[in-house]
Amino acid sequence: MKTYIKKIYKPMLIFLAVAFLYNCQNQQKNQQTKEEKKMNVIKENFGNVDNKEIYLFTIKNENGMEVNITNYGGIVTSILVPDKNGDFDDVVLGYDNLDGYLKETPYFGAIVGRYANRIAKGKFTLDGVEYILAANNGENHLHGGIKGLDKVVWDAEEFQSEDGAGVKLHYLSPDGEEGYPGNLDITVFYTLTNSNELKIEYSAKTDKPTPVNLTHHSYFNLAGTSGRDILEHVLFIDADKYTVIDESLIPTGELRDVSVTPMDFRKPTTIGSRINKVEGGYDHNYVLNNGGEFAKVTELYDPVSGRIVEVFTSEPGIQFYSGNFLDGSITGKKDVVYSKHFGLCLETQHFPDSPNQVNFPNTILRPGEEYKYTTVYKFSVR
Ligand code: BGC
């Protein structure tokens, strides 16, 4: 009997010991994965501006996609995505260091506002009061003025969420800044998801009525740093109309049908195939067919690398800007020279000059209301 018990007991003890060790190891592994997940936002010093520390955040997702964001101007300094062969490259224009952004930048990767795009003659009247903004684009006001949201230091905090990780940015734009009425309290969440999306959630509140129109100003080049411009990229825009503009790029108020014009991107079309028929190149606001609902509005595809970026938003417009003013005077990341059409912007927005255009969707935010919308840039390959 004794030997029988011994026979059973010993293997049982060994089994329990092995099971215990296995369990311990697994717990350790789980802990590690949790920690690894926590670590997918890295915060480093990127310099100093106005005696405030500037950070560079590196966010990496499960697929190896990587995004760099700084709290100076809320700038996305790089987006690393794979091509159809799995080779990663940076698909946005910008500089290698903060100095580049401080010297001169055509809004590379920035958050733009308080009013993205143009306001005619830098003036608007609201509730009977005329407001004068900085004229920083000829006689017009562009992208929030001389020191817009792209040039201020945002408070920044990294976060983890269900679908990824990111950076929360906050900025309180004081009453009167760049001529705008009201203290505007702005929050932007940048999230890199594990579905290879860069999600941007904008929100703002004010204590006086004021126009608000925020956007993101990345210059995409899906060819990466290969030295090719964007003219071979294929673009789809789900819009039947665009806002007609005058020679200073201010809307005339007319919404024109894109049919049988070089403005029609309802079928995916190579950008370079008709750009010469558009004076100055594409720099137009499209009237989206999304009916104000969050939906896919645009797709950009580079047939050579196979890279794709799809844009989703609930905003009524998107500015397609084909980098017409890039002229080779900027040498960007990795010493690449940014010549004409070297990058393009897909800026989700309300229509330009809305505060002066009674027929355009409203852009006035009033106390007690919340400005809120989301745009997603989703990357993939074909
Ligand atoms: C505008 C262009 C402007 C550019 C500035 C774009 O959003 O549509 O007209 O020149 O920003 O870099």
CB 285, CB 251: distance < 8 Å = yes
Please give the Cα distance from 298 to 266 (Å, whole number): 9
pLDDT for 39 equals 43
pLDDT for 332 equals 96
Check if 301 has its Cβ closer than 6 Å to any atom of ligand 1: no
pLDDT for 158 equals 97
Residue 176, pLDDT > 80, answer yes
3-class secondary structure for 274-320?
CHHHCCCCCEEEEEECCCCCCEEEEEEECCCCCEEEEEEECCCEEEE
Q: Alpha carbon of 363 to those of 201, 305, 344, 370: distances in Å? A: 17, 38, 25, 12
215-234 burial code (b ≥16 CB/10 A, e <16): bbbbbbbbbbeeebbbbbbb
pLDDT for 23 equals 56
The closest of 379, 98, 326, 142 to 249, measured between CA atoms, is 142
What is the Å distance from ligand 1's center to 39 Cα? Answer: 36
- Residue 151 tokens, joined: 């040039």
Residue 38, pLDDT > 80, answer no
Check if 325 has its Cβ closer than 6 Å to any atom of ligand 1: yes
14 — pLDDT class (breaks 50, 70, 90): low
Give the pTM. 0.90
Residues with active-site annotation: 217, 347
Residue 161, pLDDT > 50, answer yes
CATH number of 41-381: 2.70.98.10
The ranges assigned to domains in the chain are: 1-34, 41-381
CB 305, CB 83: distance < 8 Å = yes
Please give the Cα distance from 255 to 272 (Å, whole number): 24
Q: What is the pLDDT of residues 205-260, one digit of tens each?
A: 999 999 999 999 999 999 999 999 999 999 999 999 999 999 999 999 999 999 99
Beta-strand ranges (E) seen in 123-250 are 123-126, 129-132, 141-142, 155-161, 164-173, 184-193, 197-206, 210-211, 215-216, 234-237, 239-245
Place of tokens 């196979």: 306
27 — pLDDT class (breaks 50, 70, 90): low
Residue 44, pLDDT > 70, answer yes
What is the Å distance from ligand 1's center to 232 Cα? Answer: 21
**In 10 A of CB 324, how many CB atoms?**
16
Q: What is the pLDDT of residues 269-297, one digit of tens each?
A: 999 999 999 999 999 999 999 999 999 99
Check if 206 has its Cβ closer than 6 Å to any atom of ligand 1: no
CB 57, CB 158: distance < 8 Å = yes
pLDDT for 33 equals 46
CB 192, CB 163: distance < 8 Å = no
Residue 4, pLDDT > 70, answer no
pLDDT for 40 equals 86
pLDDT for 1 equals 47
Mean of pLDDT over the chain:
93
Residue 30, pLDDT > 60, answer no
